[in-house]
A and B are shown apart, each in its own frame.
Chain A
């Protein structure tokens, strides 16, 4: 469903609704762009979702779109829709900071493939959003440029690492944004901010131009107001890219897939997850209501077992950090970015650059990953983690023989206060307990809002589907959205 009645203001509309308004002539692309740019200028200060805003570029692109319309050219999939990109995705001519000081001065010489495809679909890039440094975190508190705040309660975090993108959409600053998900970095902030967030199947979307964190896990995905918007966004960016050897030559599902009823679908619930010690009662209750809604819509729910899901965090924090320790070795001050002034030899320069350029969490993860790969320990840590990863993937394969989708809470908690978990890295890592299994197995997963907890904070419902079956995930998520969602609701402060 496209959010909002015909007279709702633009910022309460989903991406497709904005596109339709522009296509119908009710509003020009330029006016739409200005609307959102003005909102960003007026209101982003309170939440600091954006690191960079490219007003000039956006208005230029919008003007070009209006010219196309005037020439009678048919509207493309996201024609005129203002979008924001997490600042670990390249946009030609804009800085890419990754929320870090070490990329100081780095201006992207080329669009990421995703960015190029969005432009080709008619989207208008308005700016870059805040993130945990190098996508490492679950709260966007690890950004070198300060935290982003949750629009529903600015004393709380928006989640992470794509906190800026989720907050921007939740606050109606853009109808659509993009993030990256390695262990939950799109879905968890989407859940905490009350919006839709999709991690596609591994290989579905090109990673060329996405700054790598965990190469075998990373995927780019949309943050949107509705499931239908997320499906349309996926359709616009998915597909084989010669620049990414891991990208798959498989067509994405048609966005209309979301509209198919869930009657007859078998939906698996993981008992260990619903009984999990860290699960807040408010979250459990909202998830329970969503399950009810699915049953009412004709789906069958049953228990499934994912025996090794409890090992997911351990596996994730060994595999992702190992890959990251290697991916971040290129930041040495030699070819681009920050270079510390140093007298002495090259090794000191590199050390000094990395010392000044990286924050504490990034350093911690690089060291952990280096250790996990180091001689004498690699088999016991990295090697072991890969074997348990296989078991986690097999658990899903087995479960999907009896159910079409596996569901549950996206995050054990709703948005927590800024600073609450900063002192205890392990506690922060445990936020990801429900979101790490999907990237480890490579399967798609979507988070859709399913109501509020007692304090009025958003709760996210996660739907996981077999590899390349985003259509199933969309169907189930859309059904939950229809029953429990409020896609056109904005926080009071941003109404």
Chain B
């Protein structure tokens, strides 16, 4: 549970962890029923429910968007208005403990 919370960057206090463990136990106990569905062993996973007939036909052409259109880059002012902390034109965050990824 702690490992999952860390992966998701969700803080878990002790009381919450207890309650969550209970909820999880109930939910996972419920979804475990899927193990008993025999035909699922051979079924292909379904990730895209309604595929296009010709998915390569509508690929986006390699062209910059018209200025002002819905696909154009955002003006810096917009970024500035939304960003919590800027240093000049760069978004500033407290340092990352791990160098590199």
Contacts and interface: CB of A to CB of B under 8 A. Distances in A.
User: Do chains A and B stick together as partners?
Assistant: yes
Nearest to A362: B10
Is chain A's interface secondary structure helix, strand, loop, or mixed overall? helix
A429 B10 CA distance: 22
B78 A315 contact: no
A242 B46 contact: no
A482 interface: no
Contacts of B49: 202, 216-217, 393, 439-442
Size band of the B side of the interface? 35 or more
B27 A317 contact: yes
Contacts of A105: 82
B97 A374 contact: no
Given A317-B27, A354-B11, A355-B10, A243 B71 contact: yes
Contacts of B20: 364, 367
A107 B82 contact: yes
A390 interface: yes
A350 interface: yes
Interface in B1-52: 1, 3-5, 7-11, 20, 23-24, 26-27, 30-31, 33-35, 37, 39-41, 43-50, 52
Given A363-B10, A367-B4, A467-B50, A390 B70 contact: no
A217 B46 CA distance: 12
A384 interface: yes
A342 interface: yes
Interface residues of A, number: 81
Nearest to A393: B46
Given A337-B82, A337-B84, A385-B31, 18 more contacts: A110-B70, A201-B50, A202-B49, A216-B47, A248-B50, A248-B52, A311-B37, A314-B30, A317-B31, A334-B91, A346-B93, A367-B1, A367-B4, A370-B4, A387-B40, A390-B46, A391-B39, A429-B27
Complex A-B, nearest 6 residue pairs according to Cβ-Cβ distance, in ascending order: A442-B49, A386-B45, A339-B84, A390-B46, A336-B82, A442-B50
27 contacts: A109-B74, A109-B82, A110-B70, A111-B70, A217-B49, A243-B71, A246-B48, A248-B50, A249-B52, A311-B37, A315-B34, A329-B9, A335-B82, A335-B83, A337-B82, A343-B94, A345-B96, A354-B10, A367-B4, A384-B35, A387-B44, A391-B43, A394-B43, A425-B27, A439-B49, A440-B49, A468-B50
